[in-house]
Chain A
Amino acid sequence: MEHVNWIHNIPFFSIFLAMFCGIITPLIKDGKTAHKVHALMVLIVAIMSAILLVNVTTTGESFTFMMGHFPAPWGNELRAGPLEAMMALIFSVVMLLTTTGGQEFIFHDVVPEKQSFYFIMLNALFGSMLALAYTNDIFTAYVFIEILTIASCALIMAKGTAQAMVGTTHYLVISLLGSGTILLGISILYSITGHLLFPQMKEAIVQLVATGQYTFPLLVVTGFVFIGLAIKSALFPFHSMLPGAYQAAVPTSSGVLSGLVLKSYIFLAIKLIYSVFSVDVMLQLKIIDILFVFGLAGMVMGSVYAMRETRMKRMLAYSSVAQIGYIYMGIGMSTRIAMVAACFHILAHAVTKSMLFLCCGQMVQDSGGKEQIYYLRGAARRNPVAGIGFTVGALSMVGVPLFVGFISKLYFATASVYAPGKMAAVLIVLGISMILNAMYFLPSVIAIWTPVKTEGEEQTRVSVSPAFGVCIILFVLINIALGVYYRPFIEVIERGIILLQ
C-alpha cells in the first residue's frame, strides 16, 4: 500500500464521503443529529480540500484520477488542479458556515419529522457540487447536474408553505428547461466527437474545426450547452425563477443556493470553455460574445429590478442576478486575466451572498416575519450581529475597498484594458452597475440602522444564538481577509487556469 498517493485520492474521497452521508442520513430520525453528521462531513471535506490545495499549489501541477480499472477514453475520470481544489475549499467553507449559522432556521421552519430529509438533500447537494468541480467527463457532469437540480428544488420546498410550492414549481420548470438543453447539446456533441471525456473531446473538436466538418452542429451544440448552463445559473433573461424561490425558501437554503449552487454551474462552464471547447473555438463561434452581452445586460437590469423591490429577500435575489452578470461579463471577455477576475468574483459572491441571506433571514425573523424594508427599520439595533453582517455584505457587494467585492471589480476593470473592443462597454457598465448597487444597498443599510421612534416602546435586544453569531463573525473576517490578502488567491487561480488550458 506504500505506493498509494493519498493526496490524489482526495477528490474521490470527498465526493464519496458526501454521498455516503447522504445515503445514511435517512436512518437518523432526529434533525439535530443529522445536522451534526452533515457539519462533520463538510468539515472533513474542507480539511481534505485544504491539504489538496496546499499540495497542488506547491507542486504546481494538476492530476487526473481514474475512477475504476479503465484508463481515460474508456472509464470515468476526475481531475484536480489548483482551481478545482480552491473551489472545493471555498464551497465547503461557505457550506459549513451557512448551514451551521442557519441551523436555527431549519429547525424552526421545517417540520421535525422531515428535517433529516432536508439534510439528505444538503449532503447530496454538496457531493454533487464537488463532483461538478472535479469532473473530467461531460456525462458525469450531467448526472450530477440532475442531482443538484432535484436537491435544490427540495431545499426550496422544505418549508412546506403554499408560497414555497409556487416558488419551487417555477424553479423546477426553468431548471428542467436548462437541463434539457444541456442534455440535447451533450448527445449531439457525442455523436460528432465520439468521446465523453474532456481531453479527448477537445482534440476531436479542434480536429473538426480544422477540417471544417460538422460546423453547424458544432455551433448549435455549443449554443445549447452554454445557454443551458446560463439558464441554470440564472443569467439575466433567465433569472425569473430566483426571486420567488429565494423569498419563499428557508434562509439557509437561499444562502446555499445563491452562494454555491449557481456558482457550481458557472464553474462547470469555465471548465468546459478551457478543457473542451477551447477559447479560440468559442471566440470563432461567437457564443462567448452572446454570454458577454447577456452578462452586461444582467449587471444593469438585475440592479434596476433590485431597486424597485421593497422586500429584502427579493432584493438580494435580484442582486444575485446582477452579480452573476459580472461573472459572465468576465467569462465573455475571454482573456486570462478576465477569467481570473470571474473566478475571484465567484469566491467573493459566495462568501458575501450567503452571509447576506442569513443576516436578512435573522432580521426578518426578529421583526415578526415581515419582509418589507419598511418594517425592518431598526432591525440592526435589535440584533447587532446580523446588522453588522448585513452592512459588511452590502459594502462588499457595492465594492468598497478593504472588502472582497472591491478586488474583483478592480480586476474586472483591469481586465477590460486587455480585451480589445470591449473595454468601453465594460467600464461604462461597470460604473453604472456599481452606482446602482450603491443605490439599492445603502438605503437598506441606512434603514436597518435607523429605528422608528415610537413612544412607550423600548427597543428590545433579541438574543442571538451562539452558532449564528460565530458564523457571521467568521464570514465577516473571511470577507475582510480576502479583501486584504487577495494576492495568493489570485495567483492560485491564475496557476489553475493556465493548467486547465
Chain B
Amino acid sequence: MKEEKSFWRKLNAWINGEEALIHADEYIARREQPKKRQWLKRPNMQEIKSNKGLYWFLCVLISIVFITIMLLVVSNLPTFGDPMDPANNEVMERYLEKGIEETGAINFVAGMILDYRAFDTFGESNVLFLAVICVLMLLKRDKKNISKAEDKEIAEDEMLDAADHKSILKVGAKYLSPLIILYGIYVILNGHLSPGGGFSGGSIIGAGLILYAAANGHKKMQTFFTFKTFTGISVACLLTYCACKSYSFFTGANHVGYAIPKGTPGNILSAGFILPLNICVGLIVAATMYGFYALFTKGDI
C-alpha cells in the first residue's frame, strides 16, 4: 500500500514536471526561494584545469585527423595550372574569350561577379548590410544595454580625448585621409578597367573614414556622417542595386529588350551596369566599415 502510494506520488510529480521525484515537497520548498541565476558567470577555472589533459588530448587528436584528411585531399586534387584541370573547361573559356565582348568590362573579375554571376554578388552585398544591422541591434545603445558605469566610462574617455592634443595623428590624418579616400574612389571608378572594384575600393574609403574619425573624434564625424546618412547610403545603394539587377534579370530571362549600351571597352563610361553597381557596392562597403568601427568604439553611429 505504502509502495503504491509512493509510486503514484512519483508519477504525479513527474506529470507536473518536478525534477526531484522522491523528496518533492522539500525540493519545492527549496525551489520556491528566489534563486539568482548568473548567466554570465565566470568559468570555473578549477574544473577547466582538472580537465586540461583531456582537452589537450582531444584538440590534438581532432586536429591531426583533420590535417591528415585535408593533406590527403590536397595531394589528390588536380595540379594547379594544369591545362587538363576539370576547372579549365568551357565556363572559364567563355569568361576569358568573350568576357570583354559580352560584359564590356576589361577586368574579367568585375565582369564575372557583376554580370555573369550578379545574383551571388547581390546576396553578398546583402550579407554586409545585414551584418551591420545585426551589430546595430546588438550594440546600439538602448535602455536594455546601458549602465551607469558605462556612461561614466564614455564621459571619461571623451574628457581624456579632449585633453589630448594628438598633434601627430591629427596632422597626419588631415593630409592622409583625403588622399586615402580619393584613392578609394579611383579604385571603385576603375573597377571595370583595372584590378579592384567595389569591395576593395569601399574598404579603402572606409579605412580613410576610420582614420579621420580616430583623429578628430566622434563629434566632428557626426557633422557629416550620422546614423541617418548611414541608413540613407545603405538603403539607396542596395535599392539601386536591386533595381538595376531586377531589370537586367527580368529582361535577360524573358528575352525582352535590354537597352543599356555597353560602350567602348576601356572607356570609363562603359560596361553597362558594372560601373553603377561598383559604385553602389563601394559605398555600402565604406559605410559598413565605418559603421562597424563607430559601433564597436562608441555604441552609436
Residues of A within 8 A of B (CB): 1, 3-5, 8-9, 12, 16, 19-20, 22-24, 26-27, 65-70, 73-76, 111, 113-114, 117-118, 120-121, 124, 128, 131, 137, 139-140, 143-144, 146-147, 150-151, 153-154, 157-158, 160-163, 165-166, 188, 190-195, 204, 214, 216-217, 220, 310, 372-374, 376-377, 443-444, 446-447
Contacts and interface: CB of A to CB of B under 8 A. Distances in A.
A163 B120 CA distance: 35
A311 to B, nearest CB: 8
Contact of A191 (B77, B117, B252): B77
Given A69-B248, A73-B90, A443-B15, A162 B39 contact: yes
Given A26-B133, A26-B231, A191-B77, A76 B86 contact: no
Contacts of A151: 130
A143 B120 contact: yes
B253 A66 contact: yes
Interface in B2-34: 14-19, 28
A117 B137 contact: yes
Given A5-B254, A68-B118, A204-B86, A216 B249 contact: no
Nearest to A215: B76
A67 to B, nearest CB: 5
B124 interface: yes
Contacts of B15: 443, 446-447
Interface stretch (B43-51, B52-60, B156-164, B232-240): B232-240
B17 A194 contact: no
B204 to A, nearest CB: 24
Contact of B130 (A75, A120, A163, A191): A120
Contact of B246 (A16, A73, A193): A16
Given A4-B254, A19-B242, A111-B144, A140 B16 contact: no
Contacts of A26: 133, 231, 234-235
B253 A191 contact: no
A111 B239 CA distance: 27
A74 B116 contact: yes
A288 to B, nearest CB: 20
Contact of A139 (B73, B118, B120, B133): B120
A144 B130 contact: no
B76 A216 contact: yes
Nearest to B80: A191
A372 B13 CA distance: 13
Given A128-B123, A165-B40, 11 more contacts: A8-B253, A23-B129, A26-B231, A26-B234, A70-B252, A118-B137, A121-B134, A137-B119, A139-B117, A147-B126, A161-B39
Contact of A24 (B87, B95, B134, B235): B235
B273 to A, nearest CB: 10
B62 interface: no
A386 to B, nearest CB: 17
B250 interface: yes
A27 B123 contact: no
A192 B79 CA distance: 10
B252 A447 contact: no
B235 A27 contact: yes
Contacts of B249: 12, 67-68
A20 to B, nearest CB: 6
B152 interface: no
Nearest to B112: A74
Contacts of A374: 16-18, 28
Contact of B16 (A139, A150, A166, A447): A447
B87 A191 contact: yes
B91 A74 contact: yes
A67 B15 CA distance: 55
Interface residues of B, number: 67
30 contacts: A3-B254, A4-B254, A16-B246, A23-B129, A67-B253, A68-B248, A69-B252, A69-B258, A73-B91, A75-B117, A113-B142, A114-B136, A117-B136, A117-B137, A121-B133, A139-B117, A147-B123, A147-B126, A150-B134, A160-B145, A163-B39, A166-B40, A191-B77, A191-B78, A191-B87, A194-B86, A217-B76, A220-B72, A443-B15, A443-B16
Nearest to A308: B19
A163 B39 CA distance: 6
Given A9-B254, A191-B86, A131 B73 contact: no
Interface of B: 14-19, 28, 39-40, 69, 72-73, 76-78, 85-92, 94-95, 102, 115-120, 122-124, 126-127, 129-131, 133-134, 136-138, 140, 142-145, 231, 234-235, 238-239, 242, 246, 248-256, 258
B116 A75 contact: yes
B232 to A, nearest CB: 9
Q: Report, nearest first, the 7 A-B pairs whose CB atoms are least far apart.
A: A373-B17, A143-B123, A69-B252, A194-B86, A76-B119, A162-B39, A443-B15
A440 B17 CA distance: 10
B133 A154 contact: yes
Contacts of B127: 143, 146-147, 150
A444 B16 CA distance: 7
A48 B138 CA distance: 35
A120 B239 CA distance: 14
Given A69-B252, A374-B17, A114 B231 contact: no
B85 A194 contact: yes
B124 A143 contact: yes
A66 B118 CA distance: 12
Contacts of B28: 374
Contacts of A444: 17
A24 B237 CA distance: 11
A192 B73 CA distance: 11
Given A124-B126, A166-B39, A23 B91 contact: no
Contact of A157 (B92, B138, B143): B138
A438 to B, nearest CB: 13
A147 B120 CA distance: 11
